[in-house]
């Protein structure tokens, strides 16, 4: 699965790190580190963490297309 955290929104409340510690980790007081490609086995925890984020800063599986190769339809 794909995961993006909008770090400009994230205020380091750490709910995500509490709910899905394998995908999110606090580094120091406020800096959030995260795994952008967590294993699908973590999906439920990650979704719970995304729902719990008070700032809705966690985006799950919303990056499809953005990372798609550009210009593949050219001949
Ligand atoms: S729960 Fe949201 S605001 Fe808190 S650390 Fe995680 S992403 Fe940031």
CB atoms within 10 A of CB 60: 16
| Residue span of the structural domain in which 32 resides | 3-60
The CATH number linked to 19 is 3.30.70.20
- Using CA atoms, how far apart are residues 8 and 12, in angstroms rounded to an integer? 11
The verdict on residue 66 lying in a domain is: no
Ligand 1 geometric centre to CA of 15 (Å): 6
The verdict on residue 75 lying in a domain is: no
Name the 3-class secondary structure at 11.
Answer: coil
What is the pTM (predicted TM-score) of this model?
0.81
The verdict on residue 24 lying in a domain is: yes
How many domains are there within the chain?
A: 1
The verdict on residue 38 lying in a domain is: yes
Tens of pLDDT, residues 22-46:
999 999 888 999 999 999 999 999 9
The verdict on residue 56 lying in a domain is: yes
pLDDT of residue 15 exceeding 80, the answer is: yes
pLDDT of residue 62: 82
| Mutation probe of ligand 1 site: the residue of 4, 12, 30 with most atoms within 8 A of C-beta | 12
For ligand 1, whether the C-beta of 10 sits within 6 Å is yes
The verdict on residue 74 lying in a domain is: no
The verdict on residue 68 lying in a domain is: no
In this structure, the dihedral spanned by the alpha carbons of residues 47, 51, 54 and 58, taken in order and rounded to 10 degrees, is: 40
């Amino acid at each position: 699965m794909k995961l993006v955290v909008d770090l400009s929104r994230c205020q380091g409340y750490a709910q995500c790190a509490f709910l899905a510690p394998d995908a999110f980790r606090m580094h120091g007081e406020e800096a959030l580190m995260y795994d952008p490609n967590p294993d699908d086995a973590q999906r439920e925890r990650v979704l719970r963490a995304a729902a719990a984020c008070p700032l809705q800063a966690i985006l799950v599986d919303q990056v499809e297309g953005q990372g798609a190769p550009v210009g593949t339809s050219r001949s």
